[in-house]
Amino acid sequence: MQINILAGGPTELWPQKLFEEPGIWIGADRGAWRLYQHHIPMLMAVGDFDSLEDDELEILETHLKSNQIVHVKAEKDETDTELALLYAQEQDPDIIKVFGATGGRIDHLLSNLWLMADETFNHIVERIQFVDSKNIVSYVQPGQKTITKIKDTKYLGFMPLNNVENFKIIDGKYPLQLTKNVSKMWSSNEFIGPVVHISFDTGIIMVTQTKDNA
């Protein structure tokens, strides 16, 4: 099963054919309103909905059943995207794709991308993708891992989210070997074949596959 989460980020960063994605949808804050506008059925709408006008929220509440909308206070510890991910995790899907979570405010972007450093999400770390028109972000846990090239992307990057030790990029265009954790984005690497192999002993690494043009 695939679960898609739509957050409230800029629509111009949506990938083409967004709503042709298979699976079921969860709307996070304004993402729920955008799902409603595009007539996309949703499993759940969640958030404080502070980005919606009063009449928009009223329409959304009328459109959804009471058990399909979780309206939380604005003063909360979790972001709206985080709440959506927590609910998605409970469904134990094979993959969770998050859209509308990039662009806009940089604090929102960084908060979203670093969510997988929270041990709360250990169970689904390697099932998560953050996707927009130019970027696909995924995550890997320790071990020997195979990164498969995603169609139409060019660049490959790696960012340790926490204490990553003995990190190796084995067969990318630019190999790398680190014995100690370095908090740095190792960007602009490339595939020289269909896959790149990496390994590391501790921590979580964010993997980016990107392209210059949408």
Residue 37: exposure state from Cβ atoms within 10 A (0-12, 13-18, ≥19): exposed
Question: How many beta carbons lie within 10 A of that of residue 13, not counting itself?
Answer: 18
Backbone angles phi, psi at 136, to 5 degrees: -125, 120
Contact 11, 34 (CB under 8 A): yes
What pLDDT does residue 193 have?
95
Give the Cα separation of 114 and 139 in Å (integer).
10
Relative to beta strand 128-131, strand 135-140 is antiparallel
pLDDT in tens, the chain (214 residues): 999 999 999 999 999 999 999 999 999 999 999 999 999 999 999 988 888 888 999 999 888 888 898 888 766 668 889 999 999 999 999 999 999 999 878 888 898 999 999 999 999 999 999 999 999 999 999 999 999 999 999 999 999 999 999 999 999 999 999 888 888 999 999 999 999 999 999 999 999 999 987 5
Q: What is the pLDDT of residue 75?
A: 63
Q: What is the pTM of this model?
A: 0.93
| DSSP class of 202 | B
CA 90 to chain centre: 16
Half-sphere exposure of 164 (CA within 13 A, CB side): 26
Predicted pLDDT at 65: 85
> What stretch of H or E contains 62?
helix 54-63
Distance (Å, whole) CA 75 – CA 87: 19
**What's the confidence (pLDDT) of residue 73?**
74
CATH architecture of 134-214: 3-Layer(aba) Sandwich (3.40)
Sign of the C-alpha dihedral computed for residues 47, 97, 143 and 190 taken in this order:
negative
Give pLDDT, residue 71.
Answer: 84
Question: What residues does each domain of the chain span?
Answer: 1-133, 134-214
Amino acid type, 22: P
Q: Which CATH number fits domain 1-133: 3.30.300.30, 3.40.50.10240, 3.30.1120.10, 3.10.20.30?
A: 3.40.50.10240
